[in-house]
Structure 1
Amino acid sequence: MICTADRYAWFPARYARLSRSYCLTLVADLPVPEVVRRLGGRDPVEMPGLAVVHDNAEKIAAGLPLELARTTGELPREYAGFAGRLAHEHLVAIAPVNGWTLLVETRDFAGVDPDRAARLSRGVTLVAHSASAAGRRFLWMYDGTMRLTFDPGDPASPEGPEREVQRPILAEAGFPGTGPGPALAYADYLTGVRFDPETLVDAFYLCVTAP
């Protein structure tokens, strides 16, 4: 059953800042270390979702060392610089979610870049969608080959071999439409990964700087 955009009406309210500039990518059948390798990620640090996707992520991340020091008596050195990295580097936060691997980005968007997505999707399926001031994008790839790509707000934009077959499904999911709801609903259909309001914040991420 295809869920509709209304199923994800909570997303811009729950993640107000993230919804204005984000890329969410789901990759099948790849463990987190292999995703890091394919991205060329470096300087890994494990971080809770609260410090990755919250509206005040930098403030939360900056406060984590103090909070941990109070509760554990230790100050993880890698946490001290995370707030600055979040603000100034292309960080990719990676976590296993419901049998897939999730990538969360707030800038640069490897997930919808055709070249980087092709590397990520070698031998597997990749489904990604993004939104920012520069526009919106949806990308579905398999084994380095684009199956479908489009601008969620433009009914004439779908390209790829799945275009005609998927048109009625896209319409049912809410395309063309505004906001992240239709993209989340269609990604849900393609992957079977259904997000709820706590999925992103409850995940525990390995964050890396990507080129």
Structure 2
Amino acid sequence: MKTGGREIPDDEDGNPFKTISQLVGCGTSIATLATAIEKDGVYTWDRFGRFGKASDEDKALALDLLEAQYKWASDPEADRREDPRSPMDQCEGDWTNPFERFGWAAEVEPDFKNICQTQVEDVPKKDLRVKRKAPDAFVGAFARLLVEIAKRDPDINIDEMPGIKADLLAVAIKFDGLEHPLSTFDSYIEGLCKFKRGGRPSKYYMQLFPEYFK
């Protein structure tokens, strides 16, 4: 989508914005993401809160973040350090998390598969995919939310939840304060419910819980 000659992600069509953190968590390699940023650029919010394609300075910051994550993944001693967490995990839960600042919407997402297939990559043996066990308190609160959804919609199938995960997160925050970055929420609900393939943003949860969205 172009507005005033400026290319921006077409979120009006419901394309989800995928952050660097989410992409790494889903298995996209550091090398692939670095090449994508160098060749195609990346989207972010600047220091004034304006959203658009990253400046050269911000692109350099995104690449520095990936470099730090790669160095951690390649370091055989990382697990023995005083803080064994990756740079990405150290930023988890911080509202200024730089790994959540950069990314692409579906309409402008680079062809990661093609990039990976057309370059030689040194892939660290350490698995960078995000695997987080949901705390018991989260599981209990989320179970209560699913029960409430089932009460309001007896036809709900938790193996084919409507909408997208961001829609469910919005009501989860209001229902029981389950406020987490989307990547963390995604990890926590794995095994608790599933979403339809190719799901689109939906007002289903807003309509099911109108008291939260007045």
Larger relative helix fraction: 2
TM-score w.r.t. the length of structure 2 is 0.26
Greater relative contact order: 1 or 2 (C-alpha under 8 angstroms, separation 6 or more)? 1
| TM-score normalised by structure 1 residue count | 0.26
Q: Greater Rg, structure 1 or structure 2? A: 2
Q: Which has a greater percent of strand?
A: 1
